[in-house]
A and B are shown apart, each in its own frame.
Chain A
Amino acid sequence: MVLEAARRYAAVAPATAPVVSARGLGLVFAAGGESTVALDSIDLDIARGAFVALIGPSGCGKTTLLRAIADLEQPSSGTLRVNGVSTAEARRARAYGYVFQAPALYPWRTIERNVMLPLEIMGLAKAEREARARRYLDLVGLGAFRRRFPWQLSGGMQQRASIARALSFEPALLLMDEPFGALDEITRDGLNLHLHDLWRRTGMSVVFVTHSIPEAVYLSTRIVVMSPRPGRIAAVIDNDLPVERPLDLRETPEFLRLAHRVRAALRAGHSYD
Chain B
Amino acid sequence: MIRLRAAAPLLLVLGMLCVLWYGAAVWLNLDQARALADDGASARAIVLATFALDRPLLPAPHQILFELLRSSLFYPPDSPRSLLHHTWVTAETALAGFALALCFGTALALAIVRFRVLDRSLMLWIIASQTVPVLAIAPMVVVVLGNLGFTGLLPKALIAGWLSFFPVTIGMAKGLRSPDPMQRDLLRTYCASEAQVFRLLRLPASIGFLFPSVKLAASLALVGAIVAELPTGAQAGLGARLLTGSYYGQTMQIWAALVMAAMLAMAAIALIDLAQAMLRRQRGGRL
- Give A contacts to B, CB under 8 Å: 70-72, 91-92, 94, 96-98, 100-102, 104, 106-108, 110, 117-118, 120-122, 148-149, 151-152
Contacts and interface: CB of A to CB of B under 8 A. Distances in A.
A108 B283 contact: yes
Contacts of A117: 190, 200
Give the secondary structure class of A's interface. Answer: loop
B192 interface: yes
Given A102-B182, A152-B284, A91 B191 contact: yes
Given A70-B189, A108-B204, A149 B284 contact: yes
Contacts of B204: 106, 108
Give the secondary structure class of B's interface. Answer: helix
B284 A122 contact: no
Given A92-B191, A100-B185, A117-B200, 5 more contacts: A97-B189, A108-B205, A108-B283, A148-B284, A149-B284
Contacts of B190: 94, 117-118, 121-122
Contacts of B3: none
Contacts of A108: 204-205, 207, 283
A98 B286 contact: no
B130 interface: no
Nearest to A102: B182
B146 to A, nearest CB: 46
A104 B186 contact: yes
B129 interface: no
A121 B185 contact: no
Interface residues of B, number: 20
A98 B283 CA distance: 26
Nearest to A88: B191
Contacts of A91: 188-189, 191
Interface string B170-201: 00000000000011011111111000100011
24 contacts: A71-B188, A72-B185, A72-B189, A91-B191, A94-B191, A98-B185, A100-B182, A104-B182, A104-B185, A106-B183, A106-B200, A106-B205, A107-B283, A118-B190, A120-B200, A121-B187, A121-B191, A121-B192, A121-B196, A122-B190, A149-B283, A149-B284, A149-B285, A152-B284
Interface string B80-102: 00000000000000000000000
Given A121-B196, A121-B200, A107 B188 contact: no
Contacts of A121: 187, 190-192, 196, 200
Nearest to A148: B284
B193 to A, nearest CB: 8
A78 to B, nearest CB: 22
Nearest to A152: B284
A118 B285 CA distance: 25
Most A C-beta atoms less than 10 A away, residue of B182, B187, B188, B190: B190
Contacts of B285: 149
A204 B264 CA distance: 62
Contact of B186 (A100, A148, A149, A151): A100
Contacts of A72: 185, 188-189
B201 to A, nearest CB: 7
A96 B185 CA distance: 13
Contacts of A102: 182
A66 to B, nearest CB: 11
**Complex A-B, nearest 3 residue pairs according to Cβ-Cβ distance, in ascending order:** A149-B284, A98-B189, A104-B182
Contacts of B182: 100-102, 104
B123 to A, nearest CB: 24
A110 B284 CA distance: 8
A206 to B, nearest CB: 15
Nearest to B192: A121
Given A149-B286, A152-B284, A106 B201 contact: yes
Contacts of B185: 72, 98, 100, 104
B116 to A, nearest CB: 18
A60 to B, nearest CB: 20
A75 to B, nearest CB: 16
B163 to A, nearest CB: 31
Nearest to B186: A104
A107 B189 contact: no
Contacts of A149: 283-286
Contacts of A152: 284
Most A C-beta atoms less than 10 A away, residue of B189, B196, B286: B189
A148 B283 CA distance: 10
A152 B285 CA distance: 10
A100 B188 CA distance: 13
B90 to A, nearest CB: 36
A107 B286 contact: yes
